[in-house]
Chains A and B, each alone.
Chain A
Amino acid sequence: GVNPDLASERLAASFSVELLTASLDGGAERTRTRRAVVEAIESDPVFSQENQYFQSQNERYEAAVKRAVYLQKKIREMGWSETGSEVQYIYRCLSGDIALSLHRVFMRSISVLGSDEQIAKWMPLATSYQIIGSYAQTELGHGTYLQGLETTAVFDAATQEFILNTPTISAMKWWPGDMGRSATHSVVFAQLCVHGKCYGVHPFILQIRSLQDHSPRPGVTVGDIGPKMNFQHADNGFLRLQNVRVPRENMLSKFCEVQPDGTYVRWGSQKINYFTMTSVRISVLSDEVILPLMKACTIAIRYSVVRRQSKLKPGEQEAKILDYQTQQQKLLPQLAAAYAFHFINTYLHELFNRGYQDIQGKNFDSLPELHAFSSGFKALVSQHCTSGVEICLRACGGHGYSLLSGLPSLYTKIIASCIYEGENTVLLLQTARFLIKCFMAVSAGQPVPPSVTYLSSAKPGKCPAKDKSDFLNPEIYLKAYEQMASRLISSSAAKLQHLIRSGVDEYEAWNQCTVQLERAAKAHCHYITVKNFVETVEKLDNKAGIQKIMKHLCDLFALHGILSNMGDFLYDGYLTAAHMDLVTASYLDLLAVIRKDAVPLVDAFDFTDRSLNSALGSYDGQVYQRLYEGARRSPTNQQGNPAYGKYLKPLLQNTLSKL
């Protein structure tokens, strides 16, 4: 049965959990589809993740390969379409614990960067898994900065081939997923040289392993890069090339080509390609970043009403830890952030879908804004969610550190998102560049994209709030955010201008302002997130209490942001010290209100116990029983203790020195 401490929380819900779930899914129909997919996957023992916390790197990898292979069969059996919504739910349900995920990236790059002939040749092979692809860009010594890659591809007109080489240790391809042990082919990025002239980085299709016995092809050294903080199931690899030849036709040539005589021709616009890279950043947010935070909140909040610790009042039973203000302060802002980011993610997807249509119609006007959005939000959201998951982990006391809680693996996985698809600091500075440009345009009276028009309306002033309830008025706090973001942007711009005018060269001036610029970019994205939350709440159905509870969460998210960045808000006097007391008072009121709905709010995320894979977070709250059963299943208890006979026994019997 359900733990009574958890059951009583559910009775007290102020809203309909089922309706909120449907709203998060984008409609009740989608909820049904998702649940059907989850049910089909989870009922199949091949996909069970029950033992993953006990497995070695080799075992994890093998299980992930098995699942990937078996999944193809499953998809055919179920009649799911590769492009349908079901596939998206499959990956969500497997928490990405599956091999061959780079195969999709391999296919996407061929379809985006390849000519029609190349697509016709390679896509059928890849779709039917006659070959397995990876995607090799990053090198041992080179990451975010693509132009710095060292791998070379030299055209040999005599044989009509490219000769690929890894000239130095730091040029070795390093990190590509599925490369270490699985892939037969890879898209490889290399500096193209023709007749002694370098044309920059280009993609090539390269076969790396034999299709007969899977051994590396001549000139190819390939392997696994060794254990990481997580992704034990993935064989991230290295690749070293020594005079490996590929035919001229293997350079992906939708936008440019090396002709038989060595003439380099470029055509068309690469902007669409640029758009694709940008949209990848957004596509990781939902499954890899926001979902883990939702899971962590679910685990930590359910556990916090089951766990009792100390007494709030003498003579009473020990209190649920969620009743402590300090525990609410840790968890409830993370819960609010999970919702805030879910909504901003929906917004970004709509924006990108519209942008894609524009671009199809050869209208590239929205591209700079989309690029700034994708960079800034990827950084902001991944950073917030990462620290949110860690807060959840540490809010679970000692048991949070047990792998059986599920939290360590959520954490070690999500932290990678701060680096991949663009390191966060680098991304925020790209957003800052866009903001500075917009600020200059605004100052010169030129038009700017809608998301930054606020830069022109901000004027110095004072916040009109007089009472703590004023800070539950979105207009009041939005204005404060707007003011703060706009000041940080304008003062960074002023500082930059000042340095340049005083003779510092432009690059140096930029470097000297980057700490400030990064902060400005974050402030901008934070403001947009709050604004979008407010607008989403306004549009929500006011039935069944949903709008009301979402309004509370929105207020909490906004006020928590003000308190966490107090210095920025107080700096120009728009908010005063007295205002901060009002903000704090409202914030504390909200903690107490949201506390009552905390469990229903995480129930609405609708994770199955199997997908949470957590002894602390299960729906029934039988925490201690599950921890105990989990421990007993551990190999350390199932297998003997070889260390006893070898070392402990001689130690205990004082015979060690005689050995």
Chain B
Amino acid sequence: AAAMVMNPDLRKERAAATFQPELLTHVLDGGAERTRRRREIEALITNDPDFQHEDFNFLSRSQRYEQAIRKSALMVMKLREHGIADPDEIYLFKSFVHRGRPEPLDLHLGMFLPTLLTQATPEQQDRFFMPAWNLEIIGTYAQTEMGHGSHIRGLETTATYDPATQEFILNSPTVTSIKWWPGGLGKTSNHAIVLAQLYTLGQCKGLHAFIVPIRQLGTHEPLPGITVGDIGPKFGYDEMDNGYLKMDNFRIPRENMLMKYAQVEPDGTYVKPLSDKLTYGTMVFIRAHIVGDAARALSRSCTIAIRYSAVRHQSELKAGEPEPQVLDYQTQQYKLFPLLGAAYAFHFVGTYIRDTYRRISADIIEGDLSELPELHALTAGLKAFCSWIANAGIEECRMACGGHGYSRCSGLPDIYVTFTPSCTYEGENTVMMLQTARFLIKSYMQVGSGQRVTGTVSYLNDLPRQHIQPQHVAARPVTVLVNDPVSLVEVYKARAAWLVEAAAKNLQAELNRRKNKDDAWNVTSLDLVRATDAHCHYVVVKLFTAKLSEINNAAVRAVMTDLCLLYALDGISKNAGDFLQAGILTNTQVNQVNQHVKELLAIIRPNAVALVDAFDYSDSYLGSVLGRYDGNVYETMFEWAKKSPLNQTEVHESFHKHLKPMLSKL
């Protein structure tokens, strides 16, 4: 297969590009040096025979789990061998080893260790951190219960302090209180950080975290009082042993409660923590990460769909001519190019949040928490906004590949099932949107009471101050330059302002009907979600636009400007109702926008393949027969199919068992 030549259609596409993809790759990585280092790390894995394995598509769930465990164990060793210790580089290494898939040690590395670092006392660190770092202890983080998700105050697991023995007694009192979903819990971990309601001296003190040993060291058998197992097959995540955990009068020493902040003294006296804001930090970090995941999932999908659309020929555009490349159809361009724009936009948004998080974390260490609420609100909303779009986008890409997109060899089903849970985990998207809405409404109210607001919501300062009225006041129509991204940012800003104001006024109107606050919030929640959506959309367009001026190479900047324009104009076209209803745009302007979207499709078309090449995914990371760099789609698909489990024997055993008796019965 290595000797295949490049598909002539793809060769032609690459020759016709107006810019060098390599330069754009540098922009995405944050510099040529980083691109080099990323490739170097990937080569450590692709050139290492120990990391080779069979195609996961042909393995059962148990086999996939086993392969993932094998590679994770190996990874720990190899990281040390290669002397890789920088967290970003560890992350890169890990994602190349597992090719962007989840793995059973994710929770150990991503939750167990960091929680020990931030919430354990020095004494606890001595007991647990180094053994965990050396993987003598493998831990997970058990928060979610079968009956309780995003609303963590509703958790039912109890930890009751017994002063007589100085132990906590852990219990899962009901079926709904069984811990459910934690990754690595089912088969891999021997410890878990368990969140439970703390009871001491007869009083409930709310949720606290406890280090709970769950399996016997040496035999890996569950400890007495612990029922633990795998939660069964899921929509993807086959490599991960998401688990359940039921505890019956299971005792742990007092010293196993994480006590850096809150404490229980030997006599049972409870000592309150100083501040609970600090738990914000990790959540912001993980949600920021999901924006990056959304960018990667979507850019991989676009790479596959766009390359395949250049290779695939279908039907006729003109009678008598050869079948054209699918990518020449306007409808195909309309499906894929706005998503390509979104993939780039989300890359830049992801980088922005990561950098902002680092800057603010430094402030937090200095004790300055002032920017935290905005960052928290921004990441919650953007996590939801980007993951929803990416989720739908992956599916759009898959369907744009016709029947073959449905085959596992396309790689798209796997990308989808791996990504789609991020709409739910680390905060269900609708709940996230409503959290951001709370911040937007609060900011709006602040402006109303004469205070100025800063940051991404500063546009609220510019709203003409009206007294609260139930009717909307039409925004001023703005001049729109369809060729100027900066002008489009203003259009998005006007929409966000208008929808935030409308939601705030509707909320006020409900309150005026003497409804209580919570009812009023619930019956306004659709407006609130819509306002948040518009706010996030504005932020994304703004960040994409801001990125353009940082691109030095003129050819790269030109093509990214086209893509940014397409992304922004397509968003206006698809949400034309908002802009028309708000009176921001007239129908002539909407018409102009629609027209320009179609022109941009044709402008971007010659650069489409180069634009996905710039994402720089290797064939092994991409894991797709349709998206191969060399475009040898059909030959590879045939080779792949021959390896299918059903093809292991020329005549399947079902023939002898079932079909033969039927065929020969007469």
Contact = CB atoms under 8 A, between A and B. Distances in A.
Interface of A: 53-54, 56-58, 61-62, 65-66, 69, 72, 128-132, 138, 140-145, 148, 169-170, 172, 174-175, 180-182, 184, 211, 213-216, 223-229, 235, 238, 307-314, 318, 323-327, 329-330, 390, 393-394, 397-404, 407-408, 411-412, 415-416, 418-420, 423-426, 429, 505, 507-508, 511-516, 518, 565-573, 577, 580-581, 588, 624-625, 627-628, 630-637, 639, 641-644, 646-654, 656-657
B130 interface: no
- Chain B: number of interface residues, binned into ranges: 35 or more
Given A65-B658, A140-B634, A214-B659, A588 B523 contact: yes
B274 to A, nearest CB: 25
B421 A325 contact: no
Nearest to B76: A651
Contacts of A213: 651
Interface stretch (B265-273, B395-403, B541-549): B395-403
A82 B240 CA distance: 46
Contact of B641 (A181, A223, A324): A223
Nearest to A577: B581
B578 A566 contact: yes
27 contacts: A58-B645, A132-B659, A148-B323, A180-B646, A182-B659, A224-B647, A226-B643, A227-B644, A227-B645, A228-B408, A312-B522, A325-B523, A325-B525, A394-B423, A397-B149, A408-B234, A408-B235, A412-B235, A415-B398, A418-B399, A419-B406, A508-B318, A567-B579, A577-B580, A581-B472, A642-B66, A656-B77
B160 interface: no
A129 B644 contact: no
Given A419-B402, A628-B175, A647 B73 contact: yes
Interface string B226-270: 000111111111000100100000000000000000000000000
Given A143-B314, A314-B518, A419-B406, A211 B663 contact: yes
Contacts of A624: 146-147, 175-176, 178
Interface string B362-405: 00000000000000000000000000000000010011001101
Interface string B138-152: 100000101111110
B339 interface: no
Contact of A54 (B232, B423, B425, B594): B232
A401 B237 CA distance: 10
Interface stretch (B94-102, B182-190, B441-449): B182-190
B175 A625 contact: yes
Contacts of A216: 650
Determine the main DSSP class of B at the interface with A. helix
A398 B70 contact: no
A143 B401 CA distance: 11
Interface stretch (B27-35, B329-337, B559-567): B329-337
A326 B430 contact: yes
B61 interface: yes
B666 interface: yes
* Closest 5 pairs (CB-CB, A-B): A566-B577, A567-B576, A408-B235, A224-B646, A634-B232
A633 B231 CA distance: 9
A395 to B, nearest CB: 9
B94 to A, nearest CB: 15
Given A397-B428, A636-B187, A226 B66 contact: no
Interface of B: 57-58, 60-62, 65-66, 69-70, 73, 76-77, 134-138, 144, 146-151, 154, 175-176, 178, 180-181, 186-188, 190, 217-218, 220, 229-237, 241, 244, 312-319, 323, 328-332, 334-335, 395, 398-399, 402-403, 405-409, 413, 420-421, 423-425, 428-430, 434, 472, 474, 516, 518-519, 522-523, 525-526, 529, 573-583, 587, 590, 594, 598, 634-635, 637-638, 640-647, 650-655, 657-663, 665-666
B659 A225 contact: no
B658 A69 contact: yes
B232 A403 contact: yes
B645 A57 contact: yes
Contact of A514 (B331, B399, B643): B331
A423 B423 CA distance: 28
A401 B522 contact: no
Nearest to B421: A401
Contacts of A180: 646-647
Given A169-B635, A238-B638, A515 B331 contact: yes
A579 B220 CA distance: 65
A225 B407 contact: yes
Nearest to A407: B235
A309 B518 contact: no
Most chain A beta-carbon neighbours within 10 Å: one of B134, B230, B328, B334: B230
Contacts of B329: 511, 514
A399 B425 CA distance: 11
A628 B243 CA distance: 11
A403 B408 contact: no
A151 to B, nearest CB: 14
Contacts of B190: 652
Contact of A571 (B526, B587, B662): B587
B408 A567 contact: no
Contacts of A639: 62
Given A238-B638, A571-B576, A647-B70, A227 B57 contact: yes
Contacts of A144: 314-315, 402
B233 A634 contact: yes
B308 to A, nearest CB: 11
Contact of A227 (B399, B408, B574): B408
Contacts of A588: 523, 526
B612 to A, nearest CB: 21
Given A398-B144, A644-B220, A573 B587 contact: yes
Given A507-B319, A624-B175, A632-B229, A429 B331 contact: yes
A324 B522 contact: yes
B203 to A, nearest CB: 19
B408 A229 contact: yes
Contact of A140 (B186, B430, B638): B638
A235 B646 contact: yes
A415 B298 CA distance: 19
Contacts of B58: 226-227
Given A132-B663, A515-B598, A143 B403 contact: yes
A61 B646 contact: yes
A69 B659 CA distance: 7
A572 B590 CA distance: 11
Contacts of B658: 62, 65-66, 69
Contact of B229 (A224, A636, A656): A636
